[in-house]
Amino acid sequence: MLYIIGLGLCEETDITVKGLEAIKSCEKVYLEAYTSILMVPKENLEKFYGKELIIADREMVESQSDEILLNANSLNIAFLVVGDPFGATTHTDLMIRARELNIPVTVIHNASIMNAIGACGLQLYNFGQTISIPFFTDTWKPDSFYDRIKENRDLGLHTLCLLDIKVKEQSIENLARGKKIYEPPRYMTINKAIQQLLEIEETRNQKVYTAESLAIGIARLGSSTDQQIKVGTLNQLLSQDFGSPLHSLVIVGSRVHILEIDFMRFFAIDKQSYNEIVKKDYDI
């Protein structure tokens, strides 16, 4: 049996009881460590699970999936994923491959940013499509997210922006030279995401949003000690320090319920300016 187990958002105790029982029954336990991260070191997880973890990087999952699936017909193998197993396309790949090999698969769900984002005070059914903001380079600034945000905003819907993480990436130089030397991990901050959003708005100039648009910065969502949620204009959020990863951003749509307005107020950076924005932009 292949168990694909969601670990939830932050800490080792975010796993479900069902997930923990499944891990304890497994011969081999892989930890997917490139589409997201937990806030605790691998050693803490190993201690909590009572199992050694094998770190699965992108290369292993994408090109050596048969090795992960080896013997899963007779033994229990666990593949652990931060958040819910269906957050990233790569895990779908692994599931399809397992089915092709007639290996039984059990998925154990958990919270992910895609549903826990409700914590920011906005109703989940008022969200449109979720977008990803990738790290720009000097020469590569993919901006298709701008069209998606426009589609959402034309309907008055909120947009959840997932921010890029780069784990075990090679520099172009090392890649060209075939050197397996990896850069330190990078996690996009809310500040960087806003800079890139405003840069693209300046280029595309379709007034999809402005520096004065209402948004929500969320850091370490689900942490019992350290979660941060701040509401303000993109401009206000730009100068806030949100601390360590992971960060996410929501651009608030125009179709808002009074309960959403009330809930967001608790998180406003500046209550007076929040009330002014609500009065001006939201007619509430």
Shortest distance (Å) from residue 154 CB to its own copies: 9
Shortest distance (Å) from residue 221 CB to its own copies: 8
Q: What is the DSSP string of 95-147?
A: HHHHHHTT--EEEE----HHHHGGGGS--GGGB---EEEPPP-SS----HHHH
Is 9 assigned a ligand-binding role in the annotation? yes
Q: Which one of the spans 9-17, 169-177, 189-197, 269-277 is the region binding its own copies (CB under 8 A)?
A: 9-17
Is 113 assigned a ligand-binding role in the annotation? yes
Should residue 159 be labelled a site residue for its own copies when binding is judged by CB under 8 A? no
Q: Tokens at residue 155, please?
A: 């309907």
Greatest alpha-carbon span in the chain: 63
Should residue 77 be labelled a site residue for its own copies when binding is judged by CB under 8 A? no
The H or E element that residue 180 is part of is none
Closest by Cα among 266, 265, 261, 268 to 282: 261
- Identify the burial level of 237 via C-beta atoms within 10 angstroms of its C-beta, where 0-12 means exposed, 13-18 middle and 19 or more buried: buried
User: Is 39 within 8 Å of 10 (Cβ atoms)?
Assistant: yes
Is 109 assigned a ligand-binding role in the annotation? no
Interface pick for its own copies out of 75, 96, 181, 284 (rule CB under 8 A): 96
Interface pick for its own copies out of 23, 69, 85, 208 (rule CB under 8 A): 85
**Residues numbered 245-274 forming contacts with its own copies, rule: CB under 8 A:** 257, 259, 262-263, 266
Q: Give whichever of 106 and 203 is closer to its own copies, judged by the CB atom.
A: 106
How many of the chain's residues bind its own copies (CB under 8 A)?
A: 57
Q: Which one of the spans 15-23, 52-60, 66-74, 178-186 is the region binding its own copies (CB under 8 A)?
A: 15-23
Q: What is the DSSP string of 26-60?
A: -SEEEEE-SS---SS-HHHHHHHHTS--EEE-HHH
Is 247 assigned a ligand-binding role in the annotation? yes
CA distance 165 to 63: 20
Interface pick for its own copies out of 2, 5, 6, 217 (rule CB under 8 A): 6
Is 84 assigned a ligand-binding role in the annotation? yes
Q: Which one of the spans 35-43, 64-72, 80-88, 229-237 is the region binding its own copies (CB under 8 A)?
A: 80-88
Burial 70-97 (b: 16+ CB within 10 A, else e): eebeeebbbbbbbbbbbbbebbeebbeb
CA distance 32 to 1: 18
Q: Which one of the spans 5-13, 209-217, 239-247, 272-280 is the region binding its own copies (CB under 8 A)?
A: 5-13
Cα-atom radius of gyration of the chain, to the nearest Å? 21
Closest by Cα among 117, 86, 91, 83 to 14: 83
Should residue 13 be labelled a site residue for its own copies when binding is judged by CB under 8 A? yes
DSSP state of 248: E
Should residue 224 be labelled a site residue for its own copies when binding is judged by CB under 8 A? yes
Binding-site residues for S-adenosyl-L-methionine, in ranges, read 9, 84, 87, 112-113, 163, 221, 247
By CB under 8 A, name the binding residues for its own copies: 6, 8-9, 11-18, 20-21, 83-87, 89, 92-93, 95-96, 99, 106-107, 109-112, 114-119, 121, 123-132, 151, 155, 157, 222, 224, 257, 259, 262-263, 266
